[in-house]
Chains A and B, each alone.
Chain A
Amino acid sequence: MARRRDDYAEEEDDVDYEDYDGVDGEDGEADDDYDGSGKTKRKRSRSELIDDYAEEDDDDEEEDEDDEDYGGAAGGGKRRRKAASQFFDDEALVDDDDDELEDDEDREEDFIVDDIRDEDDRRIHRRPLLPREDEREEDVEEIERRIQERYSKSLHVEYDEEATDVEQQALLPSIRDSKLWMVKCAIGREREIAVSLMQKCIDKGSELRIRSAIAIDHLKNYIYIEADKEAHVKQAIKGMRSIYPGRIMLVPIKEMTDVLSAESKSLDISRDTWVRVKIGTYNGDLAKVVDVDNVRQRVTVKVIPRIDLQALANKLEGREVPKKKGFKPPARFMSINEARYSCYKIFLFVSFILTCFPPKVDFFIYLTRDLSIRVETKRDPSSGDSFYKIEGMMFKDGFLYKNFSLKSLRTQNVKPTFDELEKFRQSGETGDGDMSCLSTLVANRKKGHFMKGDRVVVVKGDLQNLRGWVEKVEEDSVHIKPNEKGLPKTLAISDKDLCKYFRTGNHVKVVSGASEGATGMVVSVEGHMVNIVSDTTKELSRVFADNIVESSEITSGVTRIGDYELHDLVLLEDNSFGLIIRVLSDAFQVLKGVPECPEVALVMLRDIKQKIFMKIFATDQYKNTVSVKDVVKILEGPFRGKQGPVEHIYKGVLFIHDRHHLEHTGFICVTSKSCMVVGGSRSNGDRDGNTLISRFAHLRTPSCATQYPMRPPRGGPGPINNFGGRNGGGGRGLVGAAVKIRVGHYKGSKGRVVEVKGSTVRVELESQMKVVTVERSYISDNVNVSTPFRETSRYGMGSETPMPPRTPLHPCMTPLRDSMVSSPV
């Protein structure tokens, strides 16, 4: 012991040069003690040097420790604690250079992901060092163990760091790796097979030479097996049903990584997202997510109810409900009162019966309760809202809250249309609801709708409110040329941040959405929404800025569907009649023939029985005859004071068109008795002017001006015919037009149209003294008859201008008119 102390004293100086500041005093000493052989260096902390007594104590401790060590007893915690520094000491003692080299090698090896076998090699490599201290073999083992532990841990740590960065490159399959084999199997059983292969492997142990089995979700009918040889695969799947050994295909190395790249699409649906239902009565309906239950994969959504109250009541009464196939109740907001009162009738009936046969009171109540559609008020414990519960379905605010499984809802690519969103908003949501609706709308709008030359404005980001023109459209970004000076020529901006920009007064055309094909003028712009006044119908509509493009095209809209045109008098299914005032894409708006109370009905094509052609007369208040095209003035009733030409007469009811009347595109329905013919004998210039203008106005607008010079020469006979033979709103300028018959027996002959009767036309042939009846389609007219009415031009072009050319016609008209009037139709 004394010798030792002297040794320590000698080495004090040496210690100073060691940079071992961080080491605990005891640690330093213990390390030194451990190295039995080479006690050349001794690492001591400062404190140790300063205090001799302390040293002694330490020495004693050290000695004890040494003894312990030499004794081979487990050092326990202390040894462990000194493990690291002790290890460093070892290497430092033996040979600095070698140690460092070793260390480096170790580190390098860590970077390369090797098998555990390499670790073994390393250990072997290191072994020559340790046996030098052959006195302490147990220590060697301890060291060994510790090294192993430490390295295995550090391997983990280092592995993690590179895992993200280097892995993909480092782990690409090489030719030394096992290959992937694609094996055909029974459909729907892929997962099962993968797992049973696992089970087989556990049972058979090392017999099975395959390394893994992979079942991909979206790849049906096949699984992948990883093995070195095809023979291994064959052997592994031998005896298994559902795998077909005949079809084993090798996956090329380049495609191996694609097999395993799974895209983790986020299946998370959050509240207030829009989804579409895929199954059941609500198939295709838009729904809003209210609650998500990830555990059970179910989602509660709110949707506009499609409840057949009648069927419900029937079911409750116990009556057989013939299930109508394909019958989908219309989507209507549930009115609780309606539900309640639909059963009220039943209740009354029952109570009536029961008063006749008075039963016991409780039975009575029981009976009524059974039959009524029970409307309960229930409170949802989680949200605290109160619901109405009918037959197990929960209602609130008119919406139905229904539970769907995640699989039966479509979450991707759900684009709520504007109409659907409007409906959802109708149930009285506040402005917040609006915002959320609109924001989702905006988010969902389809991309790629920008075109070169569009005027756009930036709506998000730093460049907000910057306006510019689209130069180039790319996948995700749009290049615009900004209006501001001082900015680079083109800027690339994500198309989500852009919005088409329109100024009031722009003439635009709707290219997608509900009102596709309509043109109009912009009256106001509100963010993404643009208010447009339609050219044809003069009504205000709101559309998305994305759905419109600037265009000078003026469409006249659809004016005829099937046989029925705008302003036709038609007979409806329920024997009522009316005038078509507007043609929609699949239906008509009809002004009903009920005088005094204007009623407009939306009528489908199939609900119209027929067109009314009858040419009848009516008498006005002063017993004058009123016929079509006469200008009358309304003397009584709510429309008093209005006047205009009569478009149709039927059953004593007149349909008058007053262009100053703002409702129903100017049509008024009155009884003939309450009117007075203005200008009894129809030689009224103004009236003529009107009708003439209207007729000419129906022609192509730009050519209207040019028509005029043409008209007067032929105007003599022409307009005369116009007045006479007009039936039920037809004609449209065809009468009096010079036409050529192109189909049929009279093909090639020219003639003039005498009158128009529905779909046939009577033409006076030029070559023969004959008036023939041909289909309207048989003639080619110089005039474009299909161009529909344009109220604008009617309004725009006053009757003033063309007056002069017509003046000479007046004398002709009167006498001929009468003759025409009397001609039978």
Chain B
Amino acid sequence: MANHGGGAAVAQIPTSFGHELRACLRCRLVKTYDQFRESGCENCPFFQMEDDHERVVESTTPNFTGIISVMDPTRSWAARWLRIGKFVPGCYTLAVSEALPNDLQNICEEERVPYVPPKRV
């Protein structure tokens, strides 16, 4: 869906479905651990996951529920509802179980990117 700017960049699609699937705690993008390690998170490049294995573990989690493949985030109601309408197309999760650690939250603030911690039931 390369209708407008942002369509060219699409997040990597997870290559397998086992335990290595992880979700980024800020943008909820779902990829495998190796994919995060390789190319980081497309929506959160400031986390710099490519550099550091620890970063990947800190900023992503294997505990998540549900998967939503967003082909067109800007025109998708579901993506808007889930607040991922501004992110690149890709596979996301509906909810993650934990919140971003504090130091990474500070990075988000510095970069002036929004972060909403998950709602606790």
- Residues of A near any B CB (own CB < 8 A): 113, 115-116, 153, 156-157, 159-160, 163-164, 167, 171, 173, 177-178, 180, 190-192, 194-195, 197-199, 201-202, 205-206, 208, 210-217, 226, 256-257, 260, 262-268, 294-297
Whether B114 lies near A163 (C-beta < 8 A) is yes
B114, A215: Cβ atoms under 8 Å? no
Residues of A within 8 A of B121 (CB): 263-266
8 examples of A-B residue contacts, CB within 8 angstroms: A156-B112, A208-B71, A211-B77, A212-B68, A215-B67, A262-B65, A264-B95, A294-B61
- In the bound assembly, the distance between CA atoms of A246 and B94 in angstroms comes to 27
Total A-B residue pairs with C-beta atoms closer than 8 Å?
145
B78: which A residues are within 8 A, CB to CB?
180, 211-212, 214, 226, 260
Give bound CA distance, A212 to B66, whole Å: 13
Instruction: State which residues 27-85 of B face A: CB under 8 Å.
Output: 57, 61-63, 65-72, 74-83
Q: Does the CB pair A171–B3 fall under 8 Å? A: no
Q: Is the CB of A212 within 8 A of B13?
A: no
Instruction: Give, as a whole number of angstroms, the nearest-CB distance from A621 to chain B.
Output: 78
Give the complex CA separation of A116 and B67 in angstroms.
26
- Chain A residues with Cβ below 8 Å from B71 are 197-198, 201, 208, 210-213
In the complex, are the beta carbons of A156 and B113 less than 8 A apart? Answer: yes
Does the CB pair A195–B67 fall under 8 Å? yes
- Closest CB-CB distance, A95 to chain B, in whole Å? 32
Are B67 and A171 in contact (CB-based, < 8 A)?
no
> Please, how many angstroms separate the alpha-carbon atoms of A216 and B67 in the complex?
6
- From A156, A211, A266, name the one whose CB has the most chain B CB atoms within 10 angstroms: A211
Query: Do B2 and A205 have beta carbons less than 8 Å apart?
Result: yes
- Which of A198, A210, A215 sits near B13, CB closer than 8 Å? A198
Whole-angstrom CA separation of A296 from B14 in the bound complex: 19
Instruction: Assess the B97–A267 pair: CB atoms within 8 A.
Output: yes
Given that A191-B67, A264-B121 are known contacts, is A212 also in contact with B79, CB under 8 Å in the complex? yes
> What residues of A have a CB within 8 angstroms of the CB of B57 in the complex?
295
A217 to B68, CA, bound (A): 11
Q: CA of A217 to CA of B96 in the docked complex: distance in angstroms? A: 13
Please name all residues of chain A whose beta carbon is closer than 8 Å to the beta carbon of B90 when the two chains form the complex: 198
Does B80 lie within 8 Å of A202, measured CB to CB?
Answer: no
A206 to B71, CA, bound (A): 10
Complex interface: chain A residues within 8 A of B61 (CB): 294
- A262 near B1: Cβ-Cβ < 8 Å: no
Q: How far is the CA of A113 from the CA of B68 in the complex (A)?
A: 22
A267 CA to B120 CA, complexed, in Å = 11
- Chain B residues with Cβ under 8 A from A198's Cβ? 13, 69, 71, 89-91
Closest to B69 in A: A198
Bound together, the chains give a CA A208 to CA B62 distance in angstroms of 30
A226-B94 Cα distance, complex, nearest whole Å: 15
- Residues of the A chain whose Cβ atoms lie less than 8 Å from the Cβ of B98: 268
- Looking across the interface, which residue of chain A has its beta carbon closest to that of B113? A156
A226 & B13 in contact (Cβ 8 Å cutoff):
no
Q: How far apart sit A489 and B19, CA to CA, in the bound complex (Å)?
A: 57
Main secondary structure of the interface of B (DSSP, over half): loop
B65: which of A113, A116, A178, A217 is its contact (CB, 8 Å)?
A217
The tally of residues in B whose CB lies under 8 Å from a CB in A reads 49
CB distance A205 to B1 under 8 Å?
yes
B94 surroundings in chain A (CB, below 8 A): 214, 216, 260, 262
Chain B residues near A199: list those with CB within 8 A.
13
Let me know if B113 and A213 touch, CB within 8 A: no
When C-beta atoms are compared, the residue in chain A nearest to B14 turns out to be: A195
Chain B residue numbers with a CB within 8 Å of A113 are 80
Q: Is the CB of B13 within 8 A of A195?
A: yes
Interface string of B84-121 (1 = CB under 8 A from A): 00100111001111100000000000001110101111
A195 touches B69 (CB 8 A): yes
A177 to B79, CA, bound (A): 11
Q: For the complex formed, measure the closest distance between the CB of A219 and the CB atoms of chain B, giving whole angstroms.
A: 9
Minimum distance in angstroms from B66 CB to a CB of chain A: 5
Which residues does chain A contribute within 8 Å of B83, judged by CB atoms?
Answer: 163, 167
Q: A201-B1, A260-B82 are in contact. List 12 more A-B contacts (CB 8 A).
A: A194-B91, A206-B1, A206-B2, A212-B78, A214-B69, A214-B94, A226-B76, A257-B81, A260-B94, A264-B65, A264-B95, A266-B97
Q: Which of B3, B10, B95, B120 is the one whose CB lies under 8 Å from A262?
A: B95
Which residues of chain A have C-beta atoms less than 8 A from B67's C-beta? 190-191, 194-195, 214-215
Contacts of B76 in A (CB 8 A): 178, 211-212, 226
Interchain residue pairs A-B with the least CB separation, the first 10? A160-B114, A198-B69, A211-B76, A262-B94, A177-B77, A262-B95, A264-B95, A201-B71, A213-B69, A214-B68
A159 to B115, CA, bound (A): 11
B3 lies within 8 A of A115 (CB)? no
Residues of B within 8 A of A157 (CB): 112, 114
- What residues of chain B lie closer than 8 Å to A178, measured between beta carbons? 75-77
What distance in Å separates the Cβ of A255 from its nearest Cβ neighbour in chain B? 13
Closest chain-B Cβ to A208's Cβ sits at a distance in Å of 7
Nearest residue (CB) in A for B117 is A164
What residues of chain B lie closer than 8 Å to A295, measured between beta carbons?
Answer: 57, 62
Please judge, given known A-B contacts A116-B4, A217-B66, whether A171 and B72 are in contact too, CB under 8 Å.
no
CA A169 to CA B95, docked complex, whole Å: 19
Residue of B nearest to A177 (CB): B77
The CA-CA distance from A383 to B113 in the complex, in Å, is 40
Name the contact of A214 in the complex, choosing from B66, B97, B112, B114 (C-beta under 8 A). Answer: B66
> Which residues from chain A contact B116 at a C-beta distance below 8 Å?
160, 163-164
Tell me the bound Cα distance from A199 to B15 in angstroms: 10
Question: Complex: how many Å from CA A156 to CA B75?
Answer: 17
Once the chains are docked, how many angstroms separate the CA of A173 from the CA of B118? 22
In the complex, chain B residues whose CB is within 8 Å of the CB of A156: 86, 112-114
CA distance A159 to B97 in the complex (A): 23
Measured between alpha carbons, how far is A295 from B61 in the docked complex, in Å?
Answer: 8
**In the bound complex, CA of A178 to CA of B75 (Å):** 8
* Given A156-B86, A206-B3, A226-B78, A212:B95 Cβ within 8 A: no
Closest to B82 in A: A260
Given the complex of chains A and B, what is the CA–CA distance between A257 and B80 in angstroms? 11
Using known A-B contacts A214-B68, A260-B81, determine if residue A116 contacts B74 with beta carbons closer than 8 Å. yes
Complex Cα distance, B86 from A294, in Å, reads 30
> Which A residues touch B96, using CB under 8 A?
264
CB-CB nearest in chain B for A202: B10
Closest-by-CB residue of B relative to A296 is B19
Chain B residue at minimal CB-CB distance from A155: B86
Cα of A364 to Cα of B5 in the assembled complex, Å: 79
**Residues on B with beta carbons closer than 8 Å to the beta carbon of A171:** 77, 80-81
When distances are taken between beta carbons in the complex, the residues of chain B under 8 Å from A263 are: 65, 95, 121
**B28–chain A nearest beta-carbon distance, Å:** 11
**Measured between C-beta atoms, what is the minimum distance from A498 to chain B in Å?**
25
Given A212-B70, A212-B76, A295-B57, A159 contacting B65 (CB threshold 8 A)? no
Task: Tell me whether A194 and B65 are in contact (CB under 8 A).
Answer: no
List, in ascending order, chain A residues with CB within 8 A of B3's CB.
206
Task: Let me know if A215 and B1 touch, CB within 8 A.
Answer: no
CB distance A226 to B77 under 8 Å?
Answer: yes
Q: Which residues of B contact A262 (CB under 8 A)?
A: 65-66, 94-95
Residue with the highest number of chain A CB atoms closer than 10 Å, among B65, B71, B76: B71
Residues of A within 8 A of B65 (CB): 216-217, 262-264
Chain A neighbourhood of B89, CB < 8 A:
198, 201-202
A197 smallest CB distance to B (angstroms): 6
Report how far A180 CA is from B68 CA in the complex, Å. Answer: 12
What distance in Å separates the Cβ of A174 from its nearest Cβ neighbour in chain B?
8
B74 CB contact (under 8 Å) in A115, A163, A214:
A115
> CA separation between A104 and B2, bound complex, in Å?
33
* Distance in angstroms between the alpha carbons of A208 and B63 in the assembled complex: 31
Kindly provide the distance from the CB of B117 to the nearest chain A CB, expressed in whole angstroms.
Answer: 10
B77 touches A173 (CB 8 A): yes
